Amino acid sequence: MDAWLNEWAQLLFRWVHVLAAIAWIGHAFFFHSMERALRPPEVEGVDPDVHGELWMVHGGGFFRMQKTRVLPPVFTGHLHWFKYEALFTWISGFLLLVLLYYVNHAIYMVPRVDGVSSGMAVGIGLATLVGGWAFYDFLWAGPVAKASKTAAAVLTVLMIACTGVALTFLLSGRAAFLHTGALLGTLMTANVWMRIIPGSKKMVAALEKGEEPDLRLGAVGHQRSVHNGYMHFPIVVLMISNHYAFLTDGPMSSVVLLLMLGLGAAVRQLFYDGWDAHIAVKGYVGAAAVALLALTFPSRPATVASTGDAPTFEEVRQIVDRRCVACHAKEPTHAAFTAPPKNLVLQADATILANRELIHTQAVVTKVMPLGNLTKMTDEERAILDAWHAAGSPGP
């Protein structure tokens, strides 16, 4: 695809993706919070079928929300289904994944294992999404969950964690983190469209016929909704992690990934339960806070040791010209870019000096730049950049 059209398509799908995700997760936050806040009806005997109710005020009006497991006598058949937000979020996100990572696989999907091509890395990414859902759904729709929900939960956590860690050893850091997030997004969307909505429709159909609904379908829907709630917070940080190389490409990126997954689940507990929750919940959130503090240590990269005299600025500028300016120029010569990434232009001495910390972090510490090392920056050149940084980054 033409690079200019590719960038416009990325903008469009990213716009849709963010808006749909806000709507989806926002509705989920609302319903989970409302579920926690439901109280018994204030007037007893008015409607014995009401499971709980909640009075709210918004936009200058008052709302009385009631939860019931049966249809009222005056039901008109007009139900609002919260499903398209999930579908549009997943579709737009997958199209972004294709446009940015799969089309440019030689740049963004560079594998960390010898003998694995960037094209094969795309296959690994797709297999992660399909296989992850198949295994997850087998656990919860099959004999495992029927025998022990605890065992199914443990295996689900292990599946997600092990998949994420394995990807950090197989793919580039940003691709690994993003595909772990895409796996969570796939599980969440498939839960909505393949388990929650179909079960709810069967219950509605039974109620409309005057039959007793299969409450097990509602239990499954509620169960999968709770699962989605635990994935909301980790997926957000995973999806923005590609902007932070110190997370995705640090020396302990796999540990960082696990901490981010655990922290997301803990934040979910804090958000929904608050400090009035059970002591076990408070302990869980406290442990997560400690993990958040610990997160700064494994993600802190070590400076590469350098030897020899401090290089001159002219040597540094030559390296930047050879290895960086193909992309970071007013008019990039690399076919994948029509504008400099992050609007960073490294053609002037003053700009190089102003971004010396960023250059050192990206090219020396994390080595994520150049992307996929397409311009073949050598270890000797990285050592020169490191020595220049250690000497205080002298100018021309």
Give the C-alpha separation, 382 to 368, whole Å. Answer: 12
C-beta separation of 323 from 377 below 8 A: yes
At 31 the pLDDT is 82
Residue 316 backbone dihedrals phi, psi, to 5 degrees: -65, -45
At 269 the pLDDT is 73
Give the C-alpha separation, 330 to 320, whole Å. Answer: 14
At 212 the pLDDT is 81
**Distance from the Cα of residue 225 to its chain's centroid:** 18
C-alpha angle with apex 220: 214 to 226, nearest 5 degrees? 145
Going by C-alpha positions, the residue among 268, 261, 250 that lies closest to residue 158 is: 261
Domain extent listing, the chain = 1-69, 104-295, 313-390
Residue 65 backbone dihedrals phi, psi, to 5 degrees: -100, 130
Going by C-alpha positions, the residue among 111, 97, 186, 142 that lies closest to residue 372 is: 111
Residues 6+ apart with CB under 8 A from 170: 111, 112, 113, 116, 121, 124, 176
Give the C-alpha separation, 248 to 372, whole Å. Answer: 14
C-alpha angle with apex 282: 281 to 284, nearest 5 degrees? 65
DSSP 3-state assignment of 66? strand
User: Per-residue pLDDT for the chain (396 aa), expressed as one digit of tens each?
Assistant: 566 687 788 889 999 999 999 999 888 888 877 877 788 877 665 667 777 888 888 888 888 888 876 666 666 667 778 889 999 999 999 999 998 899 888 888 888 887 788 889 999 999 999 999 999 999 999 899 989 999 999 999 999 999 999 999 999 888 999 999 999 999 999 999 999 999 988 888 887 787 888 888 888 998 999 899 899 889 998 998 888 777 887 778 888 898 888 888 877 777 776 656 567 666 776 776 777 677 666 555 555 454 556 788 898 899 999 989 888 988 888 776 777 887 888 888 888 888 888 888 888 877 788 877 778 888 888 888 888 888 888 888
At 227 the pLDDT is 93
C-beta separation of 67 from 50 below 8 A: yes
C-beta separation of 327 from 370 below 8 A: yes
At 161 the pLDDT is 95
At 327 the pLDDT is 87
At 300 the pLDDT is 57
* Burial per residue of 194-223, b for 16 or more beta-carbon CB atoms within 10 angstroms, e otherwise: ebbbebbeebbeeeeeeeebeeebbebbeb
Going by C-alpha positions, the residue among 2, 194, 203 that lies closest to residue 99 is: 2
